[in-house]
Amino acid sequence: MAADGAHPLPTVLAVLGRGLVDPDEPALRADDAGVTRGDGCFEGCRVVVDGSGTADVAKLDAHLARMSRSAARLEIDFDAAAWRELITLAAAAWPQPGEAALKAVLTRGAGDRPTGFVWVTELGADIPRQRREGIRVVTLSRGMPVAAFSDAPWLLGGVKTLSYAVNMAAAREAQRRGADDVLFVSADDPGYVLEAPTASAVWATGRTLVTTPPDATGILAGTTQALLFDAAAAAGWRTDCRLATVAELHEADVLWLVSSTRGPVDVVDLDGTARRRVPEIDAEIRRLAGFAVPGS
Amino acid sequence: MAADGAHPLPTVLAVLGRGLVDPDEPALRADDAGVTRGDGCFEGCRVVVDGSGTADVAKLDAHLARMSRSAARLEIDFDAAAWRELITLAAAAWPQPGEAALKAVLTRGAGDRPTGFVWVTELGADIPRQRREGIRVVTLSRGMPVAAFSDAPWLLGGVKTLSYAVNMAAAREAQRRGADDVLFVSADDPGYVLEAPTASAVWATGRTLVTTPPDATGILAGTTQALLFDAAAAAGWRTDCRLATVAELHEADVLWLVSSTRGPVDVVDLDGTARRRVPEIDAEIRRLAGFAVPGS
């Protein structure tokens, strides 16, 4: 169950076609296209284990649906029933009550056989602080105008691929600038708000929640953002999906980065400009997204 | 030594810190950042084994220098002496006279330790035909204007990362269109010629060889292109590094895609327009790049 802080170690590993295996044993060939080409897709999910030890994988249907779309775009076979079974198996093997992070990875594999595995590990060490204190965010260009993705399916807009080297480099750039996370903007002038390396952007102006339209802009359709918008609409919020500039974000009442394991975390500093926190709105949005009030 | 055609199997595998290992055994943990994030870099090299069984890794210094630059940009430790030793060890273990393909892969690893390995395998099955017959190429947008890379080091322009999912998707798109390869163009209007998913573009007009400037445009500095330009300059060619449009390529005498294992291969069809082959120029360029005349 140990983790070394900066790099938590996986403590449960299940491999497609094999089931639970020792997570400390190597599981991939060196010529797996997942490592040689970043050629595959993944999902990151939240596991919640209740006091009786029963594990729930939040939004499992939505994650399987998105992974199926990613795999289809990559032309890699995906058997949703087998993946449901593998994810459920891995989650059930996680022994600690509370939250955990689950990752499901599908690669083109080596030879003609895709590789699939699921691991469950502790929540990222920074998540409790980020939920409590909010996050400092810098905007960085993603280098692409939103129109680039029209009629260019090979650019893999909307596909959650394993090719995240730029996302990780952007996260390091944020740390270098003293920030917790990145908000990517398009290469248009002015740039449009896209998404974070591992999260969607959502903002509130009055009783309207807004996010960036996925797919056509190249960004991922966020599963937590979708769940939140459905719940918010049912609770009387207006919801909107549209292109916006960073200037508009500065005008919004609250801005969140929203992801499956971290949940919605409010942005307290955007490009060096402090943002006022609005605890009552923030608490409502976290609750609607299925996450507890910070500190509770 | 067997290969299954579409997916050659590695037949020699050497792992950093371990040496030669069984290539059929898994070599990576499931939580290696190389697979979960495409977070690492690589080099592809040509191995030539002479009749006495002595293996030469072509341009090894240039590959080590580029890999060192990639690793530095990714902030991953890189010990050039250890890599030289590992690559030399793997190449020496390749038993067949003739050409082979070597791949050196460095990832951020799992925990705090980078992962490194080298494998040697047969040349891609398509290479002999492509050298003999030339290649059919389609241009596809890479989605980014060349200016996107200015002052945006997190976009990893010029870094040979493992995050090649878009490159592979573009290669599949080319096959779908009946072509052998892709030439990426920028999202400028009109688009500028960039590079192929795994090759540089070089073209000849009269006695001038031209290529696209690397790094500032986001493209890789090609090691074979650099060697070729040095040799061509010594042989009396003019060489030039500049932005060009696809229309200019159609005017060029010969257009090649140039890569380390395949060498220069001439383009015989660009976006459905047939190109006349110029055997005497083609043979000279291949020879200057260190590759034999096709069919010889």
Chosen from B163, B189, B198 to mutate, greatest number of chain A CBs within 10 A: B163
Q: What average pLDDT score do residues A165-185 get?
A: 98
pLDDT at A175 over 50: yes
Asked whether the beta carbons of residue A26 and residue B28 sit closer than 8 angstroms, the reply is yes
Asked whether the beta carbons of residue A111 and residue B152 sit closer than 8 angstroms, the reply is no
Provide the percentage of residues in chain A whose pLDDT is more than 70: 95
Mean pLDDT lowest among A39-48, A130-139, A271-280, B1-10: B1-10
Asked whether the beta carbons of residue B30 and residue A35 sit closer than 8 angstroms, the reply is no
pLDDT at A3 over 50: no
A177-199 pLDDT, tens digit per residue, is 999 999 999 999 999 999 999 99
A46-92 pLDDT, tens digit per residue, is 999 999 999 999 999 999 999 999 999 999 999 999 999 999 999 99
pLDDT score, position B286:
97
B69-94 pLDDT, tens digit per residue, is 999 999 999 999 999 999 999 999 99
Give the pLDDT band of residue B293 (cuts 50, 70, 90): low
Domain extent listing, chain B:
12-121, 127-288
A51 φψ region: left (φ > 0), alpha (ψ -120 to 50), beta (else): alpha
Q: What average pLDDT score do residues B140-160 get?
A: 95
Whole-number Å distance between alpha carbons of A16 and A144: 35
DSSP helix/strand/coil, A248: helix
Give the pLDDT band of residue B216 (cuts 50, 70, 90): confident
pLDDT score, position B10:
61
Which structure tokens are listed for B261? 């294992």
Give the pLDDT band of residue B296 (cuts 50, 70, 90): very low
Inter-residue contact A192 to A185 (CB < 8 Å) = yes
Single-letter amino acid, residue B249? L
Whole-number Å distance between alpha carbons of A90 and A92: 5
* Chain B partners within 8 Å of A39 (Cβ): 164-165, 168
pLDDT score, position A7:
47
* Chain A partners within 8 Å of B9 (Cβ): 31, 110-111
pLDDT at A220 over 50: yes
* Chain B partners within 8 Å of A119 (Cβ): 30-31
Asked whether the beta carbons of residue A155 and residue B169 sit closer than 8 angstroms, the reply is yes
Q: Please give the CATH number for the structural domain made up of A12-121.
A: 3.30.470.10
**What predicted TM-score, i.e. pTM, was given to this entire model?**
0.94
Closest to B27 (Cβ–Cβ): which among A6, A26, A34?
A26
Closest to A145 (Cβ–Cβ): which among B40, B155, B187?
B187
Asked whether the beta carbons of residue A7 and residue B148 sit closer than 8 angstroms, the reply is no
Topology agreement, domain B12-121 and domain B127-288: no
pLDDT at B139 over 70: yes
Q: Which helix (H) or strand (E) holds A85?
A: helix A80-92
pLDDT score, position A232:
98
Q: How far is A130 from chain B (nearest CA, A)?
A: 22
- The nearest alpha carbon in chain B to A70 belongs to B165
- The nearest alpha carbon in chain A to B218 belongs to A143
- The nearest alpha carbon in chain A to B16 belongs to A30
- 3-class DSSP string for chain B: CCCCCCCCCCCEEEECCCEEECCCCCCECCCCHHHHCCCEEEEEEEEEECCCCCEEECCHHHHHHHHHHHHHHHCCCCCHHHHHHHHHHHHHCCCCCEEEEEEEEEEEEECCEEEEEEEEECCCCCHHHHHHHCEEEEEEECCCCHHHHCCCHHHCCCCCECCCHHHHHHHHHHHHCCCCEEEEECCCCCCEECCECCEEEEEEECCEEEECCCCCCCCCCCHHHHHHHHHHHHCCCEEEECCCEHHHHHHCCEEEEEECCCEEEEEEEECCEECCCCHHHHHHHHHHCCCCCCCC
Asked whether the beta carbons of residue A153 and residue B168 sit closer than 8 angstroms, the reply is no
Asked whether the beta carbons of residue B30 and residue A168 sit closer than 8 angstroms, the reply is no
Provide the percentage of residues in chain B whose pLDDT is more than 90: 91
pLDDT at A4 over 90: no
Asked whether the beta carbons of residue B37 and residue A162 sit closer than 8 angstroms, the reply is yes
Which structure tokens are listed for B260? 């380390």
How high does pLDDT run on average in chain A?
94
B17-35 pLDDT, tens digit per residue, is 999 999 999 999 999 999 9
pLDDT at B198 over 80: yes
Asked whether the beta carbons of residue A148 and residue B4 sit closer than 8 angstroms, the reply is no
- The nearest alpha carbon in chain B to A39 belongs to B165
pLDDT score, position A293:
53
pLDDT at A144 over 80: yes
Tell which CATH classification among 1.20.1090.10, 3.20.10.10, 3.30.70.150, 3.30.930.10 matches the domain B127-288.
3.20.10.10
Closest to B30 (Cβ–Cβ): which among A23, A112, A156?
A23
